[in-house]
Structure 1
Amino acid sequence: MSKRHTSNTNLTVISNGQYQGLKVYPRPLSAEYLSAILQTLQAAMNEHPRTFMVRFDLHLPQLNFRDSPVVYDSTVISKFFKSLDAKIQHDRLIKGREGKRVHPSTQRIIWAKERADADTDHYHIAIFLNNDAYNHLGNYNRSGQNLSTKIVEAWASALGLDDYSTRHLVHFPEDTPVYYLNRNAPNYPQTFASAFFRLSYLAKLETKHYGDRTRSFGCSRI
C-alpha cells in the first residue's frame, strides 16, 4: 500500500532506495518528483544524444534578521531560468555571426527549493544542454564568458544584484558538478544511473515547504 506524505497528500512516499530499477537516495522521496526527474532526463537524451548535465545550488541573500519580510517571491527561479536561456541563445547567435559552427541547445531544467535550518531559501538546480554546444563550466572562480559566468549573471539578474555581489550565492559542488551522458557510449547505462541517483536528491521530502501556496519542485515540460 502506498504511503502518502502527511503535509502534502498528493505526494507518494518511497524510501526503499529504488525507483523503476534505478538506485536512488535511501531516504523519504516523492515518487511523483522522481517520475518528473526521469522524464526530464529521458527527454534531454532523446533530443541531445550527447547531453551535458550541470548540478549547482542557488542561494538567496542572507536576511539581516529572522522576521524580515519576504524580499523575493516565487518568480525568482523562473526569472533565473529565463535569463540563463536568453544568455545561452544569445551565445549561439553570436557564434553563428562569427561564422562558427553552431549546435542548437535546448535548456531543460530541474529545481527543488529547500530551507532546512537557514533563514533563507536555497535552490538545488540541474540543467541539461547539448554536449556539442557546451561541454565544460569554465573556471567559476574567475570572470569570463563561460557557462559558469552565465549562471552567475543570470542569478544576479533574477535577484536584481550585480555579478560581484551574487558570485558567493552560486555554489558548484566540488564533487562532480558535471555529468557527460552519451547514449552511444558503452558505459551509458552506468552514467545514466549515476546521474539519476544524483538527481534523486532533489526528490527528497524533508526540508521542503508545504502549505504556503508556493512550489517546492519544478522541471521542464516534456
Structure 2
Amino acid sequence: MSKRHTSNTNLTVISNGQYQGLNVNPRSLSAEYLDAILQTLQAAMNEHPRTFMVRFDLHLPQLNFRDSPVVYDSTVISKFFKSLDAKIQHNRLIKGREGKRVHPCTLRYIWARERACADTDHYHIAIFLNNDAYNHLGNYNRSGQNLSTKIVEAWASALGLDDYSTRHLVHFPEDTPVYYLNRNAPNYPQTFASAFFRLSYLAKLETKHYGDRTRSFGCSRI
C-alpha cells in the first residue's frame, strides 16, 4: 500500500532508495516529483542527445537586505527562468549575426523550493542545455559572457537587484556542478543513472513546506 505524505496527501512517499530501477537518494522522496524529474531528463535527452546539465542553488536575500523588496512572491522563480532563456536565445542571435554556427538550444529545468533553518527560502535548480551550444560554466568568480554570469544576471533580474548584490546569492556546488550526458557514449547508462541520483535530491520531502498556497516543486513543460 502506498504511503501518502501527511502534509500533502497528493504526494506518494518512497524511501527505499529505488525508483523505476534507478538508485535515488535514500531519504523520504515524492514519487510524483521523481517522475517529473525523470520525464524532464528524458525529454532533454530526446531533443539533445548530447545534454549539458548544471546544478546550482538560488537564495533569496535576507528580508532586511537594504536594497531588496520586503517580500518575494512565487513568481520570482518563473521570472528567473524567463530571463535566463531570453539571455540564452539572445546569445544565439548574436552568434548568428557574427556568422558563427548556432546550435538549437532548448532550456529545460527543474526547481525545488525549500526552507531549513534560514529565514528565507532557497531554490535547488537543475538546468539542461544542448551540449553543442554550452559545455562549461566559465569562471563564476568573475564577470563575463559565460553561462554562470547569465545565471547570476537572470537571478538579479528576477529579484530586481544589481548583479553585484546578487552574486553571493547564487551558489554552484564544489562537488560536480555539471554533468555531460551523451546518448551515444558507452558509459551513457552510468552517467544517466548518476545524474538522476543527483537530481533525486530535489524530490526530498524534508524542508519543503506545504499549506501556504505556493508550490514547492516545478519543472519545464515536457
TM range (shorter): over 0.9
Q: Is the 8 A contact 2:67 2:161 kept in 1?
A: no
How far residue 221 of structure 1 moved from its aligned partner, in angstroms, is 1.1
Residues 5, 66 of structure 1: alpha-carbon distance in 2 compared, 3 angstrom cutoff: farther
Q: Is the 8 A contact 2:61 2:68 kept in 1?
A: no
Residues 24, 177 of structure 1: alpha-carbon distance in 2 compared, 3 angstrom cutoff: same
**More off after superposition, 206-215 vs 60-69:** 60-69
Q: Is the 8 A contact 1:12 1:31 kept in 2?
A: yes
Q: Is the 8 A contact 1:16 1:26 kept in 2?
A: yes
Residues 179, 65 of structure 1: alpha-carbon distance in 2 compared, 3 angstrom cutoff: closer
Residues 97, 20 of structure 1: alpha-carbon distance in 2 compared, 3 angstrom cutoff: same
How far residue 179 of structure 1 moved from its aligned partner, in angstroms, is 0.2
Q: Is the 8 A contact 2:5 2:13 kept in 1?
A: yes
Q: Is the 8 A contact 1:66 1:119 kept in 2?
A: no
How far residue 63 of structure 1 moved from its aligned partner, in angstroms, is 2.1
What is the number of residues matched between the two proteins?
A: 222
Where do 4+ consecutive residues of structure 1 move more than 6 Å? 65-69
Cα distance per residue 1:30-89 (max 9 Å; x no partner)? 000000000000000000000000000000001239999961000000000000000000
Q: Is the 8 A contact 2:114 2:207 kept in 1?
A: yes
How far residue 220 of structure 1 moved from its aligned partner, in angstroms, is 1.0
Task: List gaps (5 residues or longer) in structure 1.
Answer: none
Provide the rounded CA distance (Å) in 2 between the counterparts of 1:144 and 1:216.
Answer: 32
Cα distance per residue 1:134-177 (max 9 Å; x no partner)? 00000000000000000000000000000000000000000000
Residues 182, 213 of structure 1: alpha-carbon distance in 2 compared, 3 angstrom cutoff: same
Task: List gaps (5 residues or longer) in structure 2.
Answer: none
Residues 100, 66 of structure 1: alpha-carbon distance in 2 compared, 3 angstrom cutoff: closer
- TM-score, normalisation: structure 2: 0.98
Answer yes or no: is 1:193 the counterpart of 2:193.
Answer: yes
Residues 158, 68 of structure 1: alpha-carbon distance in 2 compared, 3 angstrom cutoff: closer
Residues 162, 67 of structure 1: alpha-carbon distance in 2 compared, 3 angstrom cutoff: closer
Tell me the secondary structure at the aligned position of residue 40 of structure 2. helix
Residues 71, 3 of structure 1: alpha-carbon distance in 2 compared, 3 angstrom cutoff: same
Cα distance per residue 1:5-31 (max 9 Å; x no partner)? 000000000000000000000010000
Percent of residue pairs identical: 95
Q: Is the 8 A contact 2:55 2:177 kept in 1?
A: yes
How far residue 125 of structure 1 moved from its aligned partner, in angstroms, is 0.2
- TM-score, normalisation: structure 1: 0.98
Answer yes or no: is 1:86 the counterpart of 2:86.
Answer: yes
Q: Is the 8 A contact 2:104 2:130 kept in 1?
A: yes
Cα distance per residue 1:88-113 (max 9 Å; x no partner)? 00000000000000001000000000
Provide the rounded CA distance (Å) in 2 between the counterparts of 1:28 and 1:67.
Answer: 38
Residues 151, 69 of structure 1: alpha-carbon distance in 2 compared, 3 angstrom cutoff: closer
Residues 67, 178 of structure 1: alpha-carbon distance in 2 compared, 3 angstrom cutoff: closer
Residues 153, 65 of structure 1: alpha-carbon distance in 2 compared, 3 angstrom cutoff: closer
